A and B are shown apart, each in its own frame.
Chain A
Amino acid sequence: MRFLHTSDWHLGRTIRQISRQPEFEAVLAEVVEIARAEDVDAVLIAGDTYDTFAPPPDAEKLLYATLRDLLDHGIKVVMIAGNHDHARRMDAMAGVLRVAGIHASGAPSREAPYVPLRLPSRDGSEAATIVALPWVPERDAVEYEHMLGTVEGATARYAGQMERVIQHFCNAFAGDTANILLGHMMIGGVTIGEGSGERQLHTGQAFAVPASCLPSTATYIALGHVHRPQEIACPSPAYYSGSLLQLDFGEAEQQKGVNIIDAHARRPAVIRRVPLTKGRGLRNVRIRLDELPAMGGRYTDEYLRVFVDLDRPEPGLFDKVRDVLPNALDVKHLLPDATADGDAHAGASDHRAASPEELLTRFYRQKHGADIAPELLSLFSELYRAEAERAPA
């Protein structure tokens, strides 16, 4: 059987109040086209379809239009709730969606025992056993334990409970079907962050599931939650497909994509990463102020976060940058490292004795690496005195 694995659509997401709806429409059309061209049997959506519990109508419309396009091509859909989705709302819809050929799972039912999905291929010649594990909130697993003890105890307990749940569910994996685990969770050892801030997140630092808890009998493990596409070192092939668009500047310049998986009983999965090309890119740019004029006309298609190296604070910097780079959504000042200044922390103990003006002067030097302008200081003194006189003794 052939599957398309995607996740973390976050429909309804904006960036600095700018709607990304047109980009979502374009990239989902691209996903549908890939699914059609690859002739997949089913699309696996590993959670966080919406950005919020109460998504805007446009987002809902886009989701249902996309699902309908897939169904029109005879493609089934298996989807689970992520931490951004409203699990109970998804479950409320599940019965109707089921009739259409969409298997949606919001939260594991408390009433009925878990029954994994057995999904036949379109030609009926083979089948897949699909364990769909939506997001399990920490509070469900841990209750108030962290209030009683250490956080480490709570994270370990969460990991232990998730391990038992996964093992119990995955006992259903059989020798005569392709076996798929679809899950929305944080796996220990995953790489998060960007550039030099990139780091591995380990179990114990957060509510994460150790990779060794994942089953060794899965043909493929389709994960959602982390937006950076990556493979997880795990007993079975396990991938985060990542988001569709670069959703914030932490994901700048990441190549987004979907995975195509050929999965058959007792055979290793054949996995291909298919890049997505639609949507606007996000880029971090670092410049000196004097380089700014020469930047005109560049990066016309990307949203920018611009870091400007400055010697001193530059009033109106945002507008100056926007004049040259209209796609700049965010401008950061990079001032010389003032903490290197010897007296930055001097007198920290005698701040009670210092006058407000002295404190501001020190603060300004520490923050901006330059002396405060005399006019600004006298304005501050005037305002401070006026305020002090009004305050009750």
Chain B
Amino acid sequence: MDGVTKDPVGLVIGTDDAFALEFWVWVYPHAYLQLDDVVTVPIRLPDDREVRLHGIVDRVRSRYEGARFDSDAEAAREQRLPVGIANAAHVTVTRVEPEIFVAPFPGAAVYASEGATRDEALYFDKMRADRTAFCAGFARDGRPIYGNIEFLDGTRGAHMNISGISGVATKTSYALFLLYSLLNSDVLGAHAGNTRAVIFNVKGEDLLWLDKPNGKLDADARARYESMGLPVGPFTDVGIRAPVQKESGHMTPASDTRKEGVTAYAWPLAQFCRERLLKFLFADADNETSQLSFVVRLVEEWLADVRNIADPDEHGFVSVIGGSEIVTVRGFWDLVRAIEADITSIAPHAADGTRNAFIRRLYDAAQTTGHLIRAIPPREAEAHSIRVLEGRADGGNSRVTVVDIHALPDKAKRFVVGVVVKGIVEAKERIGSGRPLVFLVLDELNKYAPREGWSPIKEVILDIAERGRSLGVILVGAQQTASEIERRVTSNAAFRVAGRLDTAEASRGEYGFLTDAAKARASILKPGTMFLHQPEIPVPLLVQFPFPAWATRKDEVDRAAEASGPPLRPRKA
């Protein structure tokens, strides 16, 4: 038989029941099986047909045969007791080909799968034949683990959800490896150029360097990338956006370690008014039906009306013309004061208490987020906006857009995420096509789509979870614990990934995709190792991913490689 070891590694045992979907294998003394090994059992049926049972090792055990008491271990070691060591492995069946579900016969030879047989066992054969396979990482033995793009791109499913305790920097790293693999392999075909990724940088400044080569990449990691036909290098066509500095009157980005190549973002006052962005400043409003939300709606409508707010002048100043007096608004505080002055006429039927609560929260929002909404001259506004599918000329056609929010207060983070995500959904609706795909990488998802309560941002995230498949917006969400996330967000994810989990968390229902053995292992997973579950494969697979080929810190940037990067096309004199 092709694609297996020449000699069997063991035999199906008959001392325990063998079932169609699971069985035990006694392992020859000269061989061994370890967790995650893929095995194949060919069986010949009485009617002469051959069935191949494929499976994956999920438990291994070893025992003295012939020993009766625990203390026999000592007698056996001193060779006073005639016992043999028996190693056995438990196999969960992944695939039966052809589909005749019989139990393997005790005594049947078990082979370690390689090449084409391994591909068949893990359903990679069909993915590769259909050209829908992308590299989702590597098994511990270095062989590739594939994912089926059809379950990510909306054809048959979409979205990925990643859980795992923080501090091991694994969740975002894995998401980035996947993106790198997708964008640099052939799986997207001619769509590769237009596919977009928007990544929110929520912690440190790790992601602000992903367009720079990593100088600490060793030869082994290089070989891993090359074995998959992936280039070894940083992300290309990257746009990095950082919030504008709070105290600065200029559009200077507020990023500590990196200044060059970073563009400051903020929203012009006029756009804030016209596009009804006020609600995202009230993202912690806990109830859709509350009186406060009603006042927010009224103020939003008032701001959006050209009879109240005139078009911006060349400085980006707007005039409030619908209030009790005409006011020129030069910054967000001016707008706050204009709203406050006219709040009784804007929301005449709201109770005083509600109006006061609104104004109080508006002051809070102005304090935390006000600097992101400012007067920007209309001719400069596009350069400082976060453009994903529109405004593609003059620097707006980045494939990967990193939006830095790590240093913003929580309220401002929610505003930025809400507004950017809403913008992507609206652009997609205007375009009216599921392609190109937009991958949205969002860590700390629990802040934006918590299980309890309601907020405008949760609504946008839910919208993507539920409609993203047809819109072509793919949410790659990550959080420490999936149990904190709105169920509809996690349940819509076709790909589920779990990194290291604590035992209590791993026992919750959200991790039903993990087998018992995988749950037990989840608490000891090393950084760089995850369980990946995808709809086509009945068991979660352990995947590892290589050290990033892009820098994650300033001191990782490979200055030499950067200098010898692709030559820029010179402009002739």
Contact = CB atoms under 8 A, between A and B. Distances in A.
A38 B194 contact: no
Interface residues of B, number: 30
Nearest to B390: A233
Contacts of B237: 267-268
Main SS at interface, chain A: loop
Contacts of A189: 430
A375 to B, nearest CB: 47
Interface residues of A, number: 36
Interface string A26-43: 000000000011110000
A320 interface: no
Contacts of B186: 175
B571 A37 contact: yes
Contact of A271 (B392, B432, B436): B392
A231 interface: yes
A242 interface: no
A24 interface: no
A183 B569 CA distance: 27
A211 to B, nearest CB: 7
Interface string A251-269: 0000000010010111111
Given A175-B189, A219-B193, A259 B393 contact: yes
Contacts of A271: 392-394, 397
B431 A273 contact: no
A6 interface: no
Contacts of B430: 189, 233
Given A231-B391, A233-B431, A239-B393, A37 B399 contact: no
Interface in B499-542: none
Contacts of A272: 393-394
Nearest to A178: B193
A102 to B, nearest CB: 22
Contact of B193 (A38, A233, A269): A269
Interface string B178-190: 0000000010111
A217 interface: yes
A309 B329 CA distance: 33
B190 A175 contact: yes
Contacts of A175: 186, 189-190, 192
B572 A212 contact: no
B427 interface: yes
B189 A235 contact: no
A198 to B, nearest CB: 13
A217 B194 CA distance: 7
A57 to B, nearest CB: 33
Interface in A214-273: 216-219, 231, 233-237, 239, 259, 262, 264-273
Name the residue among B194, B237, B399 with the largest chain A CB count within 10 angstroms: B194
A231 B433 contact: no
A12 interface: no
A3 interface: no
A217 B190 contact: yes
A173 B399 CA distance: 19
Contact of A231 (B192, B236, B392, B399): B392
Interface string A16-57: 000000000000000000001111000000000000000000
Given A175-B186, A175-B192, A231 B390 contact: yes
Interface string A177-218: 001000000000100000000000000000000111000111
Interface string A312-335: 000000000000000000000000
A231 B382 CA distance: 13
Given A268-B399, A271-B392, A271-B394, A235 B569 contact: no
B316 to A, nearest CB: 19
Given A217-B194, A233-B431, A268-B237, 17 more contacts: A38-B572, A39-B571, A175-B186, A179-B193, A210-B432, A211-B432, A212-B431, A216-B191, A216-B435, A217-B191, A217-B193, A233-B390, A235-B435, A235-B436, A236-B436, A264-B193, A267-B192
Interface of A: 2, 36-39, 173-175, 179, 189, 210-212, 216-219, 231, 233-237, 239, 259, 262, 264-273
The 10 closest A-B pairs by CB, nearest first: A216-B435, A212-B432, A217-B190, A266-B192, A271-B393, A233-B430, A235-B433, A237-B392, A173-B190, A175-B189
29 contacts: A36-B572, A37-B571, A39-B572, A174-B190, A175-B186, A175-B190, A211-B432, A212-B431, A216-B191, A216-B433, A217-B193, A217-B435, A233-B390, A233-B427, A233-B430, A233-B431, A236-B194, A237-B392, A237-B397, A239-B393, A262-B569, A266-B188, A266-B190, A266-B193, A267-B236, A268-B193, A268-B397, A269-B193, A269-B392
